[in-house]
Structure 1
Amino acid sequence: YELTRCEVEAQSQPQTFTYKVSNFFYSTFSSFNKKIESEMKEVLEKLEYLAKQKGALGLKDCTYSGDGSSSKVPQKFGDIIINWLTSETDNPNHPSILSIVGMGGLGNTLAQHVYNDPKIEDAKFDIKAWVYVSDHFHVLTVTRTILETVTDKTDDSRNLEMVHKKLKEKLSGRKFLLVLDDVWNERREEWEVVRTSLSYGAPGSRILVTTRGEKVASSMRSEVHLLKQLREDECWKVFENHALKDDLELNDELMKVGRRIVEKCKGLPLALKTIGCLLRTNEIIPAIFLSYRYLPSHLKRCFAYCALFPKDYEFVKEELILMWMAQNFLQSPQQIRHPEEVGEEYFNDLLSRSFFEQLGRCIPKTTRHFSFELRDVKSFDGFESLIDAKRLRSFLPISKFWEIQWHFKISIQDLFSNIKFIRMLSFCGCSFLKEVPDSVGIANFHKLTKLCCLEFRDTKVTKMPMHFGELKNLQVLSTFFVHRNNELITKQMRGLGGLNLHGRLSINEVHNILNPLDALEANVKDKHLVELELEWKSNHIPDDPRKEKEVLQNLQPSKHLERLSILNYNGTEFPSWVFDNSLSNLVFLKLEDCKYCLCLPSLGILSSLKTLQIVGLDGIVSIGAEFYGSNSSFVSLERLKFHNMKEWEEWEYKTTSFPRLEWLYVNECPKLKGLHLKKFLTKKSELKLDHRSLKLNDPKNE
């Protein structure tokens, strides 16, 4: 074979699915014949030579769906490191530092095993970071890379003092675990400069270093953990784990070849893994080794282009395809395929041949709290690994609107089927979701006894699981849909009534409540809500407006309510609780599209009300004394909005009203005339009017 070197990307802080050029083999195998003895001898001699060139060989692990790293290193080694990381004793000149010194690949493997161990999760580090250092140790670059890793943000600072300041602010008072992988620098003075800003972490902070030289550990004044050469059986496990597919069985001849390869690698994990990764890409071990020499010409051009980039460059697939397009590398013979499709095919072909290494972030099994933005979704494995996060407590998208259906590798129905301890489950903004997943349905209630928060605002969900009321610990429910089946409504509303809800609640499809007593079963008045939204179906024609009022009467909230929205209400008048002292803490009120309402309630007596929005009340012709309710009315109101009031003609002004009004908005009220609006305003008020349909009278001219 002919071994060449390609650049390998460090696994420092992947933010998207990234791909790195992996080391690969040139191969001249044409058949598995009698010449294999001499050819293998030549190969292994070259491997032994390259193994001695430690500084020049920048190889990393290939990734594949195999067993975890725990099977690749003796467990006792990992336990020693874990005990050190989680011990209560601390270095007065913290953070404490431990260097793992060993042959190429072994220290990295052990560090990965330790880094992902559940015991480290229990140690409650505030920050965990993995930084690949390599043989190019530049103080500013290393320090800035550490900063970018712990903050998850790119930093372009060229001033070392500024980088130190930012890193100090991030780490001060916080317990952190920092892994510095593949360190070669032996200059103590350079390390001391990097270490300066790392000394501000909280007691218990740890730095774990992987290196191949004891001088490196000495220069860092760290404790040393020496790794001995792997035993023969351990070498075979490493090789087997990387080389064999799950369904592959070795015959005696292939076993003999494999054992000889392992023997010649002389316990060098890096060589074992490199050869194993390459062999794994083939269906049978003695099959042809794929190499650059045998690549099709169109793939050779694309791959050779990658050599233009510097060492440790991280490729983003989509960006690389665009670069290939710019070089006119992506030509389709049929001229019917888009260049991006061709580029996708080329890239996947190179990936399948192990010329690129895929680094997708997996969600650790020990994850308890998981929040993310849309741009983060591609950084993970489509949430596939989340299925194994049995200890998950919260699932929270923090973007307002997001479309993630194209990024799920698993069904959202299966996502939470095995999770028993979830406490906060939010699908807010998940616009493709049409129903609450079955995993939150009746068949799994016994698994969700800890669920405290269930949110699915801004989704397409229109119905509730019938027995959701059995979630006795549920305290936050963003949205509730009244069932269309009249026979089931009573049971459903009773289930809602049994929940001790707090915060915000939106009750939709209220028009489905035909019996006002069912509304009473919801027990809204005894819930600790601060925001309530009640919504009827738009354009619904009521059978009996009196029953509509009774339903709304029985949905009266508690006195703690601060925000209330009533949408598409079909009654001709509002119940008394909307405008009496029972809502003394109300600061926001919105009445929208209540088209059958003939008069406004006495909202002026709501002493805490700061914002009032009245929209689309087509039945209102006049607003008079009934709107104010007392001598001093709207004493706290700051913002008042009237919009789309098609029949509104008159507005009676009251001198003692609106003493704090700052913003008045009147729009699309075509019949409103003769209004002395300036009387409503204070000196700092802002007036917004639809000047095309509204005529103003200036009291100064009268």
Structure 2
Amino acid sequence: MSSLLPLKSLDGASRSCMGHICHKWIMSPIISKLLDKALSYCKFDKEETLHRLLTDVLPRLALTMEAVENIRHRKLLEEIVRELKSAFHDMEYILDDLEYIRHHKKLHNQKILQQKREKKRPRTASEAEASSSNQDIFVESSYTLTGDLNRRLKRNMDKIEKHINKAQDIIALAKPSSKRETVTAKNTHAPTTSAPTAKVTGRDEDRQRISEKLRGANLSSGNNKCFSVIGIHGIPGSGKTTLAQHVCEYEKTENYFDLVMWIHVSQNYSLRVIFKEMLEVASMDKSNDPPAYSYSSLGVLEDKLKEKIKGKRFLLVLDDIWCNKDADTKELPRLLSPLKVGGEGSRILATSRNKDAFSDLGPDVARDVFAIPDLDGEVFLNLFMYYALEDPNADDPDKAELRSIGAKIALKLKALPLAASTVGGQLRIRQNDVKFWREVQHRDLLNDTTGALWWSYQHLDEQVRRCFAYCSIFPRRRRLLQDELINLWVAEGFIQTTDAEEDMEAVGRGYFHKLLATSFVQPGGNDQYIVHDLMHDLAEKAAGDDCFRIENGLTKKVPRDVRHLFVADAAMVTKEIFELENLCTLIIDVERPELVNTIFFEEVFEKLKKLRVLVVQAGYNDYLDDSYLDIPRSIGQLKYLRYLRIVVPTENLSLPKTLGKLYHLQVLMLHLCAVEISPDTNLSNLTNLRHVSGVSFFAAAFIGSLTSLRTLADFEVRKEVGYELSQLRDLNKLQGYLSIRDLGNVKSKREACEAKLADKKGLTELVLQWDHDTSCTPQVQAEVLEALCPPEHLENLEIIGYQGPSYPSWMLSEQNSGPKYLKTLALDSCWLEPAPQLFEVFINLRKLMIGRCNWDHLPASVKDLRWLESLLIVDCWRLESLPELPSSLKKFKLVGSDNEFVKSCKLEGHPNWEKLRHLENPPILDVGTPEFMPQEEHDTDEDEVEDSPSL
């Protein structure tokens, strides 16, 4: 039995052919991944099998798929291509099985070695080194394909060859009619992936016209409603939503309306979701009312909304209402029903593709409807050139020819803003390729919007195209989070890199920014993104039957070969879905969380064993507050699972020990519940785990072996073995936010040093917290904090409950290693005196928060913080006076009892009041003791509030 040849040992022709394969068609990421796996650790029973795969099957497959792309009769080959894709997916599962077996054997061998070491400890250093060497040899022993896996792999190769032969026969017959130009994405220059800022051009007059209508007399109506409707209609991509957003932003600054709400309606909307969104926005007054998601009854939501809106003059923007003749026409009028209690002069601004859609609002609703005006030719040219060159008016002779070509291209885009941003974005990332611009100028593909978008899509890299097509699984205008989307791409195997050391998330971010730069995804506010409706149509076309959605009002039959499925409610998960044995992705967005129970999960785990991604996301239910959800042991059967997200409103969610068998698992996200993990669960087996979130108490021993971790929001130090702070030592890929709790269990500086926080270069936010009942002396706490020096590029630091007598040197001296670019500093319940050196080291602070600390003054050096924008002081009882504050300060909040200091800040003419006069916004002086990190510090744009903003 021969071992697999490494890639570098293949002949040049084979390597060249393999490189050609991996850049030709949508399945190329799978081919590349299969080859990477095979070349890494597979062994075949005969060398001829490998030779046949690399030099015959894959090259013929690449040439066949290239020929398929070039013939007019591609529909004749759809079934064959579908079979080829199916065979390749099966081959991928075979290699996943092999990797699973390999990992299991490795863990088993390690366990045996550990038992041997416990029986006989090495006495000398040389013996210890020999023991370690023996372990490496034993653990990394070779693994060959089992007889069953080998047979399955051969069957799939035979199947591929059979369909290649069929395809070649059809291609030969179609050859005479296949002479036509193909669209290829050739770019010999390094592209720019930065996206230009979204731009509103030529709409000021339209905005002014609409604002005048909004303030005008109420339109005639037969029923004395407090509101009337202004409607804007136009074809997709014409800028309706952009214009409505422009109006919305303007009206916020004018303060004519008491309340401004933005709601995206879409084709298949839910009244419950829309009412929740409206209530969230209407409740942005920071009242103590329960959050909107705590109400599940539609009637209760409607009543609460009426309470919030009553008597207020509101502006409600209803974006993208549809004219749906088959839908229940009573739904839209009910959507407007709670609004009748609003104040006189309220208005609704609605957008739609079709003028007739506004009639569904009801016959007694007064409305003024008009088509969105086309942009003036010169205005559109400026907009297009902004996206294509960003600064088209710059005096740059090298751009003169591009400006001339761009003017001719713009004429072909029918003055559609979406086409301007999409086509312009493709040109922008190729500013150094004049030849490419000339070719675009003469293409007929730009005669209509759809052609322009499809042309732009064809010029994306293959992997980027596949990631974009995957976005079609989500409902229209769904708010998408960049990191979650990238994590899904990684889990699905869409991210490809030839460098084993290159971070897949970083590659994914590159893909995402290419989509952003070319407007395939667009900013949606509050660090969220959306796919424009026209782009969504394009993604659906590109995805074909691979992606499918089941939503209210959509009755299209689920394709049998669907790979990625989104279901709008658990009640729609029918027997038909459980028969989709090749399903890779199941995302369920639940409105009735009572349907998500142990029996439901049992059926998912038993029937859909090939899942790579499972997301079950449920809203709150009034009756589930004290519930208990027990995840069944059968979850261990999902051996291909890479992404698990469960968001359920249950008091406790229990995970079985079989979770430790999910060796491929990369993402574990558990939210809206307290998580209980079986104590005998060996999560240290999950060496591929990259992201953990929502697990408030990550009770897992020996996580130090999870060296792939990028995200670990919370780590609790315990006295038990396996929970020491040293478990963080080798987790140097950690990124973003990390909170370390119960540092009172760290007894020495040496223990703290073992965490090696400074080596975690990707951390940007760090919370260090001592519990209140710690037995650790103040001096030991000081030594521990000194050893917990964060990485240089940390942005936000919060220290809670520290009772040490002094600051660590890395906070007081610029000469010490430590964070030098801190933007936020928060000290809560610390026994520290004020230190002027703090603001000499952290000169770049944007936010400063001091809470329940022993401060009797703010150091005078605070005035030198020329970037400081926000200052929060909570319950600092000894504070008496304010120093001179920086001119950059915009927000000042003082929270505490109504003592003399608080009174002095309110008293006009008092020195403390004089220090606050320059603020753009008046200081906020509250009586009470809120949370130290108040909600307003993390406010979202009220127009972007979503019932379920994440994936």
| TM-score for both structures, normalised by structure 1 | 0.46
**Greater RCO structure (CA 8 Å; 6+ sep):** 1
Q: What is the TM-score normalised by the length of structure 2?
A: 0.35
The structure having more radius of gyration, on CA atoms, is 1
Query: If each structure's helix is expressed as a fraction of its own residues, which one has the higher value?
Result: 2
